[in-house]
A = this chain, B = another copy of it.
Amino acid sequence: MHFGRHISGQFNVELESIRTHVLTMGGLVEQQLSYAIQALNKEDVELARKVVRDDHKVNAMEVSIDDACTRIIAKRQPTAKDLRLIMAIIKTITDLERIGDVATRIARVAIESPSSKERQFQVSLEPLCRQAIQMLHQVLDAFARMDVEAAAEVHKLDDKLDAEYEAVVRQLMTYMMEDPKNIPHILQVMWSARAIERVGDRCQNICEYIIYFVKGKDVRHLGDQSIDDALK
């Protein structure tokens, strides 16, 4: 990283500590999301309850990292790349917290969902889930190394996630039409699928913050091609 050049050793320590906290938060959110999805797929109500119970930990981390960022700005008056790092962190943790909310929402569906014996349809959210967790894992990895190339790669994965999501929705719609009495339950599954699809958008946001930090270019709202151009 770039932290070596500070005159104040204490500043380095503080920046490194915030960065570590973001990675810890990312790890927790990734765990929450996998547990939630596991709970949904295996109908594990206990695990789903654990996810709901642990959501406050994610929230608390967001608040505490945010506070640390504001304090470091006030105290150290960072400029240039240091300031961009802090800005990127402030935005990243907002998206991480929202992914945490997605996990909780999926866990709630797992808790309220009827058991498989009552189900008249089988649509697997497995591939969609696997892709979303993969994207989150890769973007956290890119964040840890502040690797713009990796971030740009992750950014492109969202198209695949969207396509998978569309396929799931089409399948679920067919089941709804075939047997309307399943509609309320299928809608629950559909909301979950949509929530998982949104994880991809959140991961894309984090990719954009990584690029902003490293390259100093704001590539939001620009699409994959402009991101590739920004990295040249």
Taking a contact as CB atoms under 8 Å apart, the answer to whether A70 and B83 are in contact is yes
A112 to chain B, nearest CB (A): 14
A145 contacts the other chain (CB 8 A): no
A63 touches B220 (CB 8 A): yes
Q: Give the number of copies in the complex.
A: 2
Q: Tell me whether A84 and B70 are in contact in the complex, defined as CB-CB below 8 angstroms, given that A94-B91, A173-B183 are known contacts.
A: yes
- Indicate which residue in B56, B77, B94, B184 contacts A173 across the interface (CB closer than 8 Å): B184
A77 and B91 CA atoms in complex are apart in Å by: 20
Contact of A221 among B59, B79, B91, B181 (CB under 8 A): B59
Label chain A's interface by main secondary structure: helix
Contact indicator B173/A177 (Cβ below 8 Å):
no
Q: Which B residue's beta carbon lies closest to that of A180?
A: B177
Min C-beta distance of A47 to chain B, whole Å: 22
Chain B residue at minimum C-beta to C-beta distance from A191? B194
**Residues 86-110 of A contacting B (Cβ, < 8 Å):** 87, 90-91, 94
